[in-house]
Amino acid sequence: MNEMELVSVAEAMVAEGKGILAIDESAGTIAKRFKAINIESTEENRRAYREMLLTTAHLGKHISGAILYDETIRQSTRNGVSFVQVMQDAGIIPGIKVDMGAHPFAGHPGEKITEGLDGLRQRLEEYRALGARFAKWRAVITIGENIPTTSCVDANAHALARYAALCQEADIVPIVEPEVLMDGAHSLDESFEVTEATLRALFNQLYEQNVLLEGTILKASMVISGSEATHRASVQEVAEATVQCLLNSVPAALGGVVFLSGGQTDEEATAHLNAMNLLADFPWALTFSYGRALQAPSLKVWGENPAANVAAAQKKLAHRARMNGLAAMGQYEESFEAA
């Protein structure tokens, strides 16, 4: 394990004013996104869409790294330049999703366990040779009646730590993502309680399994009201609760914190990140690793006419990257959206 390299890659991933572009949708998820815009999910359409995103001019100004999917890391532009090369030329660190998805957790109705540890050591070796310098593994925690159970939280935390240790052995920075889903009618307080318990379980396991925290990035969900809650917490309440939850449960030694957007609108996700960064100085950088909240406007425009709208779609992505880059420094203002 090259500790110096792990720490320097982790630092670069959360460099000031930059965050991560999550474009690691698995085959099923990208098909769902494409269906919503009436685009068929063929390999060529997926390649063309990801080429549009990755070749956006000056993307590296606000994007430090991008998380790819197994298919995408092997793809190239129409002109034959590999996506990894495009990213390296733009100063964007290539990352890779290595989990094999969240599956029903046996004996625990309504809960999920993420799979993908079998053969992971060999897959990481291959991804490193292909150019990946960081990886991602997502666990899914659902809030509902009598869930999450401690066994679900602990089993996912254990798997996340096993994955993280294997990544570091291969000189790949692990992003650990224990997503507490926004789906449901739960309150901000319930979200706080579950997120705190999940993070505590995760960091216990990372400690138990000798994971170098300085060479690890946490991808956290914000502490937020459920999407069907009757009372939705304000931007300020979400920011304060999220920061308090992290301060309660995340060691200062960690390499950095990036957030997922989890179904928030793009502007909501930016406003929340900005409000957090206005609160105080933290032991870690707080930035973004959004999927939907970075891609949504761009995907919509591209889907209207993939052949003709490349430049217009890239403009949308560049705008959201800039807005979130500013939010990562607490310098975002709603009025910038119109500019």
Length of the chain: 339
Pattern 230-249, ligand 5MM, x by CB under 6 A: --------------------
Q: Is 177 one of the annotated active-site residues of the chain?
A: yes
CA distances from 183 to 61, 98, 218, 312 (A): 33, 24, 21, 32
Residue 325 lies near ligand 5MM (rule: CB under 6 A): no
* Residue entry with tokens 């009598």: 146
Residue 29 lies near ligand 5MM (rule: CB under 6 A): yes
Q: With residue 66 as reference, give the H or E element that holds it.
A: strand 63-68
Interface pick for ligand 5MM out of 22, 141, 164, 217 (rule CB under 6 A): 22
**Taking Cα atoms as reference points, which of 246, 249, 258 lies closest to residue 216?**
258
Least distance to ligand 5MM from the beta carbon of 290, Å? 4
Least distance to ligand 5MM from the beta carbon of 29, Å? 3
Count of residues near ligand 5MM by CB under 6 A: 16
Cis status, amide bond into 148, omega within 30 of 0: yes
Interface pick for ligand 5MM out of 246, 260, 276, 321 (rule CB under 6 A): 260
User: Across-strand partners of 281?
Assistant: none
* Alpha-carbon gap, residue 173 to 166, rounded angstroms: 10
User: Across-strand partners of 139?
Assistant: 178
Site for ligand 5MM in 293-322 (CB under 6 A): 293
Pattern 141-180, ligand 5MM, x by CB under 6 A: --------------------------------------x-
Compute how many other C-beta atoms are within 10 angstroms of the C-beta atom of residue 108.
15
Compute how many other C-beta atoms are within 10 angstroms of the C-beta atom of residue 333.
12
Beta carbon nearer to ligand 5MM, 79 or 258: 258
* Residue entry with tokens 């992971």: 120
Least distance to ligand 5MM from the beta carbon of 92, Å? 16
**Taking Cα atoms as reference points, which of 86, 81, 42 lies closest to residue 306?**
42
**Residue nearest to ligand 5MM according to CB distances in the complex:** 291
Longest dimension (CA), the chain: 53
Structure tokens at 72: 């995408």
Least distance to ligand 5MM from the beta carbon of 68, Å? 10
Beta carbon nearer to ligand 5MM, 7 or 37: 37
Interface pick for ligand 5MM out of 1, 8, 26, 267 (rule CB under 6 A): 26
Site for ligand 5MM in 93-152 (CB under 6 A): 101, 138
Which residues would be at the binding site for ligand 5MM (CB under 6 A)? 22, 24-26, 29, 67, 101, 138, 179, 260-262, 290-293
